[in-house]
């Protein structure tokens, strides 16, 4: 084989090696990273569903835990400035519907509380329990 052919082959091998390397390991790494995150989210969801089940929830319901400060108390609603609620909401101020069991009569504006939300998702949840933070 002539040297110019060897040179072309070497360059091709480098380029193809790089391309295949990214195509197999690089892309697989990205896919695996995504799969790990999805699995972690699923594990978290299962954990929350199990906790909801222990708390008497129905099939498919989850239980989220949050921490925040009460900003306003209404008969069926509590406005809370809360930290991030993992798997549900970022840190912000949100109004949560109250379950009868929540015993919110003791909450006042400015109170720091830990609270638990039960439901199936962002648009279907209810504050079921709270305690002083």
Binding site for another protein (CB under 8 A): 2-8, 10-11, 14, 67-69, 71-73, 79, 81-83, 91, 93, 108-112, 133
- Looking at the Cβ atoms of 8 and 36, the one nearer to another protein is 8
Q: Which residues pair with 85 in a beta bridge?
A: 89
- Looking at the Cβ atoms of 14 and 36, the one nearer to another protein is 14
Closest separation in Å from C-beta 46 to another protein:
27
- Looking at the Cβ atoms of 55 and 73, the one nearer to another protein is 73
- Looking at the Cβ atoms of 51 and 111, the one nearer to another protein is 111
Closest separation in Å from C-beta 14 to another protein:
7
Closest separation in Å from C-beta 35 to another protein:
21
Closest separation in Å from C-beta 23 to another protein:
17
Can you give the three-state secondary structure of the chain, one letter per residue?
CCHHHHHHHHHHHHHHHHHHHHHHHHHHHHHHHHHHHHHHHHHHHHHHHHHHHHCCCCCCCEEEEEEEEEEEEECCEEEEEECCECCCECCEEEEEEECHHHCHHHCCCCCEEEEEEEEEECCEEEEEEEEEC
């Amino acid at each position: 084989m002539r040297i110019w052919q060897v040179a072309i082959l070497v360059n091709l091998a480098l380029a193809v090696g790089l391309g295949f390397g990214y195509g197999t390991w690089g892309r697989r790494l990205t896919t695996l990273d995504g799969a790990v995150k999805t699995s972690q989210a699923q594990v978290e969801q299962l954990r929350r569903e199990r906790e909801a089940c222990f708390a008497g929830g129905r099939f498919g319901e989850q239980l989220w835990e949050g921490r925040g400060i009460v900003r306003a108390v209404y008969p069926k609603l509590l406005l809370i400035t809360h930290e991030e609620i993992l798997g549900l909401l970022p840190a912000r101020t949100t109004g949560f519907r109250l379950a009868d069991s929540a015993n919110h009569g003791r909450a006042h504006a400015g109170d720091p509380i830990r609270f638990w939300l039960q439901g199936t998702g962002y648009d279907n949840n209810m504050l079921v329990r709270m305690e002083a933070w």
